[in-house]
């Protein structure tokens, strides 16, 4: 088998608490559920510019990896933000504003269009939303605030790129750079929100802050449902590899597949950078455990040190494996996609967006990891390409050429793939 990536020495932990037979019950549905998902789907699919993002069949990389299928959910064209995060933060802003308007004007129904046209502007203009971000979530919250008519302050860690900060500011948000990590920015945003009467719209949950992160995760579930509907009618994935972060995304994927397919759900592998491995450490210790160090990774959107408590409540028994990879694996995966091959057209994918794919290729090239994960010739793997070149300058520095130099891939809806 040809080398898929440079040797990447993945770390793999098989979750001893994973429970395939456990029913998706009331405690799980209190976090994410199909009932709440249907509300999110009805709302988001009515937004201008909505279209399902494509599901690509990477036949060349599947062949090189020695597996049957490799499906890549390409989020690089999600709305105007180029990231799956558009589904979460903006939806949570809408839900928050609708609740606030209803509380101040009881009995008045509030629709998204009412907020877009400024019908309740006298109320929403006095509301400020805030969050911490490494880039994409903050862009989604800022976009939602601009569209639905409220003010926005976004906190970014010291290492957030200038390009990502400017993209957030482009939606009218004020950006505050914090001298520290993403988790330091989370704490600063929460403290300033309390002091100023602002509303935190975060994708991570912590003691005393649970409701809004549920809305964020329900928005993410739309991406999962789209992928389910786009799979070939007679096929289901045997494995899903999904990037970690604070855990909100893998928990949304886990909960949606668990409730939808039950015991027939695919094996779920949660992927993180070696240097930002809070979910991996939590799995090893059997309880939420922070990562150590400065969280420095090229996968900037995954540079998170503390686990979302809601996410962990699902992943503790719903995730089968936890895996970490080096930065070099993500860089190599970006370049492989940009180059294309005889079967796969070139694609643009961001450094955090390729983490799941990089983990598949990394594991396929490691005999021990391949065997432990069951990546055999009949394996059918789904990964989520969660972002495009959300900072073109960073992309060009990593790949060696600007994203616009790569021939565009057809990006319309893809009902079925082969």
- 159-172 pLDDT, tens digit each: 999 999 999 999 99
- 105-124 pLDDT, tens digit each: 888 889 999 999 999 999 99
Backbone angles phi, psi at 391, to 5 degrees: -130, 100
Q: What is the CATH number of domain 11-84+212-405?
A: 3.40.50.1100
**Selection from 231, 238, 145, 132 nearest residue 189 by Cα:** 132
Average pLDDT over residues 216-243: 96
- 60-84 pLDDT, tens digit each: 999 999 999 999 999 999 998 999 9
Mean confidence (pLDDT) of the chain: 94
Bridge partner residues of 70 (DSSP): 381
d(CA 198, CA 206): 17
Q: Does domain 89-202 have CATH number 3.40.50.1100?
A: yes
Encoding tokens for residue 55? 């599901």
Bridge partner residues of 200 (DSSP): 130
Encoding tokens for residue 152? 């926005």
pLDDT confidence tier of residue 4, bands split at 50, 70 and 90: confident
Average pLDDT over residues 30-55: 96
**Selection from 7, 15, 1 nearest residue 323 by Cα:** 15
Give yes or no for residue 413 having a pLDDT over 80. no
- 324-345 pLDDT, tens digit each: 999 999 999 999 999 999 999 9
pTM of the model: 0.94
Catalytic residue numbers?
85, 134
Quick check: do 11-84+212-405 and 89-202 share a fold? yes
Give yes or no for residue 91 having a pLDDT over 70. yes
pLDDT > 90 fraction of the chain, expressed in percent and rounded: 91
> What's the start-to-end Cα distance of the chain, in Å?
23
The residue extents of the domains of the chain are: 11-84+212-405, 89-202
């Amino acid at each position: 088998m040809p080398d898929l990536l440079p040797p990447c020495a993945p770390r793999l932990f098989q979750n001893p608490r994973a429970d395939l037979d456990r029913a998706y019950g009331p405690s799980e549905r209190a976090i994410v559920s199909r009932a709440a998902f249907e509300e999110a789907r009805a709302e988001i699919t009515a937004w201008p510019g909505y279209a399902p993002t494509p599901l690509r069949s990477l036949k060349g990389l599947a062949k090189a990896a020695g597996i049957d299928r490799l499906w890549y959910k390409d989020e690089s064209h999600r709305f105007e933000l180029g990231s799956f995060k558009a589904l979460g933060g903006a939806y949570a802003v809408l839900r928050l504003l609708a609740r606030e308007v209803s509380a101040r004007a009881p009995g008045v129904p509030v629709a998204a269009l009412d907020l877009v046209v400024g019908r309740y502007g006298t109320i929403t203009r006095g509301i400020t939303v805030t969050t911490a971000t490494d880039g994409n979530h903050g862009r989604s919250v800022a976009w939602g605030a601009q569209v639905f008519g409220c003010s926005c302050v976004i906190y970014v860690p010291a290492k957030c790129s200038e390009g990502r900060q400017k993209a957030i500011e482009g939606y009218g948000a004020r950006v505050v750079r914090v001298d520290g990590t993403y988790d330091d920015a989370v704490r600063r945003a929460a403290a300033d929100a309390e002091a100023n009467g602002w509303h935190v719209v975060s994708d991570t949950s912590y003691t005393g802050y649970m409701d809004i992160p549920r809305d964020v995760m329900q928005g993410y579930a739309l991406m999962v449902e789209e992928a389910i509907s786009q799979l070939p009618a007679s096929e289901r994935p045997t494995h899903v590899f999904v990037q970690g972060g604070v855990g909100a995304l893998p928990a949304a994927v886990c909960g949606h597949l668990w409730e939808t397919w039950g015991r027939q759900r695919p094996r779920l592998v949660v992927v993180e950078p070696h240097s930002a491995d809070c979910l991996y450490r939590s799995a090893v210790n059997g309880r939420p455990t922070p990562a150590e160090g400065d969280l420095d990774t090229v996968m900037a959107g995954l540079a998170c040190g503390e686990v979302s408590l809601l996410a962990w409540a699902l992943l503790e028994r719903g995730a089968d494996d936890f895996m970490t990879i080096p930065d070099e694996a993500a860089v190599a995966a970006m370049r492989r996609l940009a180059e294309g091959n005889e079967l796969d057209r070139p694609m643009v994918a961001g450094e955090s967006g390729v983490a799941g794919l990089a983990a598949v290729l990394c594991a396929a090239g490691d005999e021990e990891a391949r065997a432990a994960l069951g990546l055999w010739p009949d394996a059918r793997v789904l990964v989520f390409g969660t972002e495009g070149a959300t900072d073109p300058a960073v992309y060009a520095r990593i790949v060696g050429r600007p994203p616009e130099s790569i021939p565009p891939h057809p990006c319309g809806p893809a009902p079925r793939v082969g």
